[in-house]
């Protein structure tokens, strides 16, 4: 199994290691709920070094990125980040990614670990077919990544490092030199809290872990809480909520522009929209004491589908989930989740389930 | 971690005998495997079960699991404290985190349950 540069630190911290898409990762340390609550109330540290990093550079880098991303890129500035799906020609989702713009001839894609090889091949294929004067490089082995998330993330990082984090707005990033190595710091995350993601070379991994965990006292958080945090925040998980079999306009439609004149998959999406979208990804919360989980049957009137993501919500103290259901189902409507062969009532609710208070 | 005065099952429950009353809970091994327990569906007083019947559901952050009754009996009481504080099962599985008390209808079944030594061997084998 693959290991991140922080593997030994997880084991030493009592992490329960599990196979996560071929990576030996901590699902939790002592308690998913305690870790979840710590991120909501204070700050927590996530090893997300399994994520992939692919660089697109060269004279035609912008052209290639513009062809791959179904959102308008004109306004994306140097130092800014955009979230988007990568679409297949048939409109299905290859992956959902963060695109960092350094300048018009250099971009960095941060992609899901399980999709990294597929994404890399996809970017190269589109490059070869359409925009030969661009380089596509897999940098994943040269990049370690930590996410520092929670309402106290900024103040704690400022105490530990001298970076001007107040100059980094949401979905922007800056590069600093620190300990004779580059570090890229972005105000992004997958928890619904304020927070930052740090990218640096694996050789300084031990240094950052020691500063953040030992000196800063930040609690390490496992993948279990990462999942319950992102679900409360209504963020889609590739492989669960979005995939090759669904159009992104059924789920993360806000991250797709049909007005943009040209990109891979546009034709299929425009056609699908014209025919009419009948199923959409929606959120629900349980009305009964039961916990929905990924793969369970979801019944919405005549429609039988599945729960794409489900969990107990430590913040709301009830079961919450998402799933595709007919567009006619609105907030307040009742659906049923089949748990242990018995239907349990749930109610369609607005996503996100949880929204942090703005300062 | 595994009290010597209890009987155990291969499904990771424990049974404490107090006269003709039995107290049932989950072992430390079971709660470690389940992780954070967030809710329980326990039987009501008066419910009658045969040995190995499914008597309760335990929801943890990771999974929903059934609890099988180690011996036949009639439920006298379910642990009401778990309604508000399900985490007691994780924190104190042998005491505050007990699940139900029951009146044994076939006390002879107790003898065949696992001793602590046998149970420790079992979980060692399971890894």
Q: How many CA atoms lie within 13 A of A84 on its CB side?
A: 23
CA–CA min distance A68, chain B (Å): 36
Q: Is A177 on the interface with B (CB under 8 A)?
A: no
Distance in Å, alpha carbon of B38 to nearest chain A alpha carbon? 7
Q: Which residue of B has its CA nearest to A33?
A: B36
- Contact list in A for residue B64 (CB cut-off 8 A) is 290-291, 293, 339-340
Question: From residue A208, how far is each of A52, A147, A197 by CA, in Å?
Answer: 19, 11, 12
- Rounded to an integer, what distance in angstroms lies between the CA atom of residue A249 and that of residue A244? 12
Note whether A309 contacts B: Cβ–Cβ < 8 A.
no
Closest-CA distance of chain B to residue A23, Å: 19
Closest Cα in chain A, distance from residue B32 (Å): 9
Cβ contact A32–B61 (<8 Å): yes
Chain A CB within 8 Å of residue B90 CB:
yes
The alpha-carbon gap from B57 to the nearest alpha carbon of chain A, in Å, equals 10
Structure tokens that stand for A148 in this block: 């520092």
Cβ distance B35 to A228 less than 8 Å, yes or no, reads no
Q: What is the pLDDT of residues B7-60, one digit of tens each?
A: 999 999 999 999 889 999 999 999 999 999 999 999 999 999 999 999 999 999
- Using a CB–CB cutoff of 8 Å, tell me whether B84 touches chain A: no
DSSP reduced 3-state for A49: coil
- Spell out the alpha helix ranges (H) of chain B: 28-34, 81-84, 88-91, 116-126
Q: For position A359, what pLDDT does the model report? A: 57
Q: Are A73 and A82 in contact (CB under 8 A)?
A: yes
Over pLDDT 70: what percentage of chain B?
100
In contact, A251 and A241? CB cutoff 8 Å: yes
Structural domain spans, chain A: 7-49+143-232, 52-138
Q: What is the CA radius of gyration of chain B?
A: 13
Question: In terms of residues, how long is chain B?
Answer: 127
CA–CA distance, A274 with A262 (Å, rounded to integer): 17
At residue A181, the 3 state secondary structure works out as: strand
Query: CA A192, A193, A197: angle at the middle one, nearest 5?
Result: 100
Rounded distance, CA A144 to CA B74, Å? 57
Q: What CATH number should be reported for the domain whose range is A52-138?
A: 3.30.70.1400
* Residue B63: C-alpha distances to residues A58, A231, A310, A320, B30 (Å): 48, 16, 11, 14, 12
DSSP 8-state code for residue B112: G
Q: How far apart are alpha carbons A34 and A63 in whole angstroms? A: 45
Count of domains observed in chain B: 1
How high is the pLDDT of residue B20? 85
**CB burial string A176-206: b at 16+ within 10 A, e below:** eebeeeebbbbbbbbbbbbbbbbbbeeebbe
A316: closest chain B residue by CA: B38
Q: Residues of B with CB below 8 A from A33's CB?
A: 36, 38, 61, 87
Taking one residue from A and the other from B, the number of pairs with CB-CB distance under 8 angstroms is 37
Query: CA B31, B32, B33: angle at the middle one, nearest 5?
Result: 90
**Helix or strand or coil: residue A131?**
coil
> pLDDT value at position A357?
83
| Residue B2 lies inside a defined structural domain of this protein | no
Instruction: Indicate yes or no: CB of B61 within 8 angstroms of CB of A224.
Output: yes
H-type alpha helices, chain A = 7-12, 32-41, 61-68, 116-130, 153-160, 205-209, 223-232, 266-275
Among residues A38, A1, A19, the alpha carbon closest in space to that of A225 is found at A38
- Chain A residue with Cα closest to B42: A289
B-chain residues near A293 (CB < 8 A): 63-64
How many angstroms separate the CA of residue B31 from the nearest CA in chain A? 11
Question: What is the residue range of B84's domain?
Answer: 7-126
Out of B36, B39, B59, the one facing A32 most closely (by C-beta) is: B36
The two most distant CA atoms of chain A are separated, in Å, by 61
Q: What is the token pair recorded at A319?
A: 């079961």
Tens of each residue's pLDDT in chain A, 359 residues: 999 999 999 999 999 999 999 999 999 999 999 999 999 999 999 999 999 999 999 999 999 999 999 999 999 999 999 999 999 999 999 999 999 999 999 999 999 999 999 999 999 999 999 999 999 999 999 999 999 999 999 999 999 999 999 999 999 999 999 999 999 999 999 999 999 999 999 999 999 999 999 999 999 999 999 999 999 999 999 999 999 999 999 999 999 999 999 999 999 999 999 999 999 999 999 999 899 999 999 999 999 999 999 999 999 999 999 999 999 999 999 999 999 899 999 999 999 999 998 75
User: Is residue B127 predicted with pLDDT exceeding 90?
Assistant: no
Q: What is the CATH number of the domain that holds B116?
A: 2.40.50.100
Tens digits of per-residue pLDDT, B75-123? 999 999 999 999 999 999 999 999 999 999 999 999 999 999 999 999 9
Burial of residue A338 (number of CB atoms within 10 Å: 0-12, 13-18, 19+): middle
Tokens of residue A100, six digits: 């960092």
CATH number of A7-49+143-232: 3.30.1360.120
Asked whether residue B73 is assigned to any structural domain, the reply reads yes
Q: Is A65 on the interface with B (CB under 8 A)?
A: no
Q: Is the ipTM of this complex over 0.90?
A: no
Are the Cβ atoms of B64 and A293 closer than 8 angstroms? yes
Are A224 and B38 inside 8 Å of each other by CB?
Answer: no
Residues A168, A120 contacting (CB under 8 angstroms):
no
CB contact under 8 A, B90 and A339: no
A287 near B CB under 8 A: no
B12: left (phi over 0), alpha (psi -120 to 50) or beta: left
B84 within some domain: yes
The predicted-structure confidence for A276-293, as pLDDT tens digits, reads as follows 999 999 999 999 989 999
A212-231 per-residue burial string, b: 16 or more CB within 10 A, e: under 16? bbeebebbbbbbbbbbbbbb
In Å, how far is B63's CA from the nearest CA of chain A? Answer: 8
Q: A339 touching B, CB under 8 A?
A: yes
Which of B38, B63, B127 is most worth mutating to test chain A (most A CB atoms within 10 A of its CB)? B38
Residue B1 placed within a domain:
no
């Amino acid at each position: 199994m693959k290991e991140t540069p922080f593997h030994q630190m997880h084991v030493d911290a009592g992490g329960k290691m599990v196979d996560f898409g071929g990576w030996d990762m901590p699902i939790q340390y002592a308690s998913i709920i305690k870790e979840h609550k710590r991120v909501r109330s204070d700050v927590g540290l996530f090893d997300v070094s399994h994520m992939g990093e692919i660089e697109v550079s060269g004279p035609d880098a912008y052209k290639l990125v513009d062809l791959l991303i179904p959102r308008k890129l004109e306004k994306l500035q140097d130092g800014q980040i955009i979230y988007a799906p990568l679409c297949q020609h048939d409109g299905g989702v290859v992956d959902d990614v963060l695109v960092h713009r350094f300048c018009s001839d250099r971009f960095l894609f941060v992609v899901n670990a399980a999709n990294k090889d597929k994404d890399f091949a996809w970017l190269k294929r589109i490059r070869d077919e359409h925009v030969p004067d661009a380089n596509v490089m897999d940098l994943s082995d040269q990049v370690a990544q930590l996410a520092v998330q929670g309402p106290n993330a900024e103040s704690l990082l400022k105490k530990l490092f001298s970076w001007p984090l107040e100059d980094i707005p949401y979905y922007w990033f800056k590069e600093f030199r620190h300990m004779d190595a580059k570090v890229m710091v972005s105000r992004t995350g997958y928890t619904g809290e304020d927070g930052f993601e740090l990218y640096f070379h694996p050789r300084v991994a031990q240094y950052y872990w020691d500063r953040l965990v030992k000196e800063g006292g930040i609690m390490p958080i496992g993948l279990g809480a990462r999942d319950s945090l992102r679900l409360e925040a209504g963020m889609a998980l590739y492989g669960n909520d979005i995939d090759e079999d669904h159009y992104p306009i059924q789920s993360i439609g806000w991250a797709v522009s049909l007005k943009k004149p040209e990109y891979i998959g546009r034709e299929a999406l425009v056609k699908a929209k014209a025919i009419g979208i009948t199923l959409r990804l929606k959120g629900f919360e349980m009305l009964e004491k039961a916990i929905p989980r990924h793969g369970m049957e979801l019944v919405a009137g005549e429609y039988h589908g599945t729960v794409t993501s489900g969990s107990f919500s430590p913040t709301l103290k009830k079961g919450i989930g998402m799933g595709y259901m007919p567009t006619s189902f609105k907030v307040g409507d009742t659906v049923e989740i089949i748990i242990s062969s018995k239907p349990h009532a749930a109610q369609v609710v607005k996503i996100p389930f949880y929204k942090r208070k703005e300062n | 971690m595994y009290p010597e005065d209890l009987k155990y099952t291969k499904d990771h429950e424990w049974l404490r005998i107090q006269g003709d009353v039995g107290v049932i809970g989950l072992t430390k091994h079971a709660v470690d495997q389940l992780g954070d327990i967030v809710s329980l569906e326990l039987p009501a007083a008066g419910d009658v079960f045969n040995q190995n019947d499914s008597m309760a559901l335990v929801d943890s952050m990771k999974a929903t699991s059934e609890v099988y009754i180690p011996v036949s009996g009639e439920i006298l009481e379910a642990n009401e404290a778990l309604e508000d504080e399900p985490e007691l099962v994780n924190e104190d599985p042998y005491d505050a985190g007990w699940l139900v008390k029951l009146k044994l209808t076939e006390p002879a079944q107790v003898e065949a349950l696992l001793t602590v030594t046998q149970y420790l061997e079992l979980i060692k084998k399971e890894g």
